[in-house]
Amino acid sequence: MQKFIIYTDGGARGNPGLAGAGAIITDAAGRELKKAHKHLGAMTNNEAEYEAVILGLDVLKRLKGAAAVKQAEVEVRLDSELVARQEQTGRPLSAFNFCPHPAGEKSPRRSLGQSSNGRAS
């Protein structure tokens, strides 16, 4: 089974403020496969952290294909306590008082099978 490691980080200048997200994808041996970054506009630090994870997963899917990624072991390394706690507990985001977008706005949250418009380098 293939293994990939995705390192992510997101942040905002101010909270909320102008935000960005980045991801680096490596193979199990630590060889860098791809870097990606995305300007996010105005959002909170927590939202930017989630966007960084989404960006990394989307780029990995484009790089290796959805079928290969579904069969692979994917490890995501990040410094966001909120994202890590939510993933570990499986609790919905609402349990952490996290509302990514005001009512009526389209959420950028996507499944692994959908595309992102983040730039990969």
Distance CA 25, CA 5 (A): 6
SS3 117: coil
Residue 113 pLDDT: 36
pLDDT digits (tens, 9 = 90+) for 66-114: 999 999 999 999 888 877 777 777 666 554 444 444 444 444 443 333 3
The burial class, CB within 10 Å (0-12 / 13-18 / 19+), for 89 is: exposed
Angle between helices 81-89 and 45-64 (to 10 degrees): 70
Architecture of domain 3-94: 2-Layer Sandwich (3.30)
Distance CA 118, CA 30 (A): 23
Domain ranges (residues) in the chain:
3-94
| Torsion angle of the four alpha carbons 52, 58, 62, 67, in this order, in degrees rounded to the nearest 10 | 140
pLDDT at 37 over 70: yes
pLDDT mean over 21-44? 96
Contacts of 56 (CB under 8 A, 6+ apart): 6, 7, 8, 23, 24, 25, 36, 76
Residue 4 pLDDT: 97
Q: Where do we find the tokens 């985001």?
A: 93
pLDDT digits (tens, 9 = 90+) for 8-24: 999 999 889 999 999 99
pTM above 0.95, yes or no: no
Q: Which residues pair with 63 in a beta bridge?
A: none
